[in-house]
A = this chain, B = another copy of it.
């Protein structure tokens, strides 16, 4: 199991971790199998989407915050309920395929760590089999 440490710099942002995951898959020596990316937090997530145009990330985060606003009639007193809700909607675990020693991604796909309650230091766990 490998571990990435990520320092987020904003309250809400996507961090592109595609190259780091690709490198971990390469270094694992696994020829054919799969790779699990797991976020051990309850106010963050991991997703796959376009990493060519930054505006895609902007639009995803904006629409999520419109649907699940930071302030609402939440009961949880820490003030980060919106982040918890977004974490469950996007999800903390994603499984990828590995073929010929490489992580398989579609042409436009990148892997993003999703910070919903930063800035903080975060972890991402990666396991290749």
Which A residues lie at the B interface, using CB under 8 A?
A: 1, 32-34, 36, 38-42, 47-50, 53, 55-56, 58-60, 63-64, 67-68, 72, 74-78, 81, 84-85, 87-97, 99, 104-109, 123, 125, 127, 129
Copies in the complex: 3
Does the CB pair B34–A106 fall under 8 Å? no
B76, B85, B95: the one contacting A36 at CB < 8 Å is B95
B74, B76, B96, B123: the one contacting A38 at CB < 8 Å is B96
Nearest-CB distance from A3 to chain B (Å)? 10
Does the CB pair A42–B50 fall under 8 Å? yes
Nearest-CB distance from A95 to chain B (Å)? 5
